[in-house]
A and B are shown apart, each in its own frame.
Chain A
């Protein structure tokens, strides 16, 4: 990217991630932040930027975490709300702050506690919702709509009707997640599944099945962003931010949006590649958001790994995206199998791969990663590369 300082990821960290955790969300957030700082060889006193994505009621805010980490002062910070580009939103904001000299070292995190069995992570925080969310809910809730599963189901149906997509295309994304998760000790769903398991899993809203949905967990992850120059003096090899992009699209809404089937993924991907020093052909590992399988399919096509409507053929019954494949996809198991940390874990996994620390699931020689987040009007993406 042309303007600003070069930014690097200098450290990443997790809290425990569990299906029914007993730790509170404040502890999870602070532990993940401590671990990311320790990975970078830094402490709270070295941080002057803090960025958190939350639904406004489900995570500690920046001031809480600032105090817990003894960060003296924040030169830049933001508590990013629900309609931001999901958990990657903190990282995107951190990149902008460091790049623009708004701060020197930014810590970004997503912490979440969710019991198993619920559907959807947005449960409302009391009071009438405002803005885009409120306007949409008023006109949809009386029909038995609830964000966001029925909207995703209608996108899938439209894909099948308009592009000739097959339901099995989605199944291969779900199966792939478990294949990679089997090699990730932190993943919560590590048992393999078959296409038959996928096709017979409970239908929530036709044609969307339970195994199209990510898995709710209690956990947190965090990353440290600083200038590439500073990162070179720190403990870990820097992972460079090659490009970033947001997109919301015209008529920014999950149902009214100009591109119902793809949301803003195509605009976001085009913007990302227009800014990057590399192309889709250079990508060694892809960490594409998988809150639902449809989202991953959208990003595969939006990023140009294959043509529109061609994801099914491209996936090649899972061979192309699985271990040993040409485009290793969601190598930690994604949210479908490793649990829903709202996309920030995709960044953490990309960093781990580019540092060659993937262990059993390491993609040999990985130098370039693409990380994408969200769908509908809430899209964000990054290209990362090893130095």
Chain B
């Protein structure tokens, strides 16, 4: 995933989302979890989508999940990705909670992606930040 000429876009983190990027820099995957009802909430936001409590705190996840759906992008929506097409984009459902989803570029050939594929987090170093990504779980390779 290299497009050397134009840096990959990133929105500036804010006080609500900063924890996510700080955890990623330490190669940890974290999302907000509600202290009141235990529900995980993502994207970062100020209230729990299940109970409305504002007692949300960053919590580390296992980093394991499955591919919920995916696409292979051929169109250049942003010139920073011109050298990357065709690239895959997948929704990963995390094992902690049904419907808790993240986006990722699964680190495997585009043709290999399938719905239901087990994946685990990996971290991509980019200029100025670390991006959580996912890769296929290789059977027997996990400790």
Contact = CB atoms under 8 A, between A and B. Distances in A.
9 contacts: A119-B75, A128-B12, A129-B11, A138-B11, A139-B42, A143-B104, A145-B89, A154-B91, A162-B115
Contacts of B70: 154, 157
B72 to A, nearest CB: 4
A135 B44 contact: yes
Contacts of A277: none
B66 interface: no
Contacts of A143: 89, 103-105, 131
Contact of A205 (B8, B74, B91): B74
Contact of A145 (B16, B69, B103, B126): B103
Given A206-B71, A206-B72, A256 B42 contact: yes
Contacts of A145: 77, 89, 103
Contacts of B75: 119, 149, 202, 204-205
A256 B43 contact: yes
B57 interface: no
B42 A150 contact: no
Nearest to A137: B11
Interface residues of A, number: 40
A203 to B, nearest CB: 5
Interface string B38-66: 00001111000100000000000000000
B13 A250 contact: no
A126 interface: no
A315 B14 CA distance: 47
Interface of A: 119-120, 128-129, 134-146, 149-150, 153-155, 157-158, 161-162, 202-208, 250-251, 253, 255-256, 258, 260
Contacts of B49: 250-251
A144 B74 CA distance: 11
A149 to B, nearest CB: 7
A44 to B, nearest CB: 41
Contacts of A253: 43
Centre residue among B14, B69, B105 by max chain A CB count within 10 A? B69
B74 A146 contact: no
B123 interface: no
Contact of B71 (A135, A138, A202, A205): A205
Contact of A154 (B10, B71, B104): B71
Centre residue among A141, A142, A146, A158 by max chain B CB count within 10 A? A142
B110 to A, nearest CB: 9
Contacts of B101: 255-256
A103 to B, nearest CB: 33
A135 B43 contact: yes
Given A205-B73, A206-B71, A144 B42 contact: no
Nearest to A120: B77
Closest 8 CB pairs of A and B: A146-B77, A153-B71, A204-B75, A154-B69, A135-B43, A158-B69, A138-B11, A206-B72
B122 interface: no
A158 B115 contact: yes
Contacts of A208: 71
A255 B69 CA distance: 10
Nearest to B21: A138
A206 B72 CA distance: 5
B10 A142 contact: yes
B78 A144 contact: yes
B60 to A, nearest CB: 17
Contacts of A136: 43
B41 to A, nearest CB: 9
B95 to A, nearest CB: 16
Nearest to B87: A144
A43 B101 CA distance: 51
B19 interface: no
B109 interface: no
Contact of A135 (B45, B73, B80, B131): B45
A207 B12 CA distance: 32
B140 interface: no
A203 B103 contact: no
Contact of A161 (B69, B103, B105, B131): B69
Contacts of B20: 139
Given A135-B17, A150-B89, A260-B68, A206 B43 contact: no
Given A144-B84, A155-B69, A157-B115, A139 B103 contact: yes
Given A142-B8, A142-B10, A206-B72, 18 more contacts: A138-B17, A139-B17, A141-B11, A141-B78, A142-B126, A144-B8, A144-B78, A146-B77, A149-B75, A150-B73, A150-B89, A158-B68, A158-B69, A161-B69, A203-B74, A256-B42, A256-B43, A260-B91
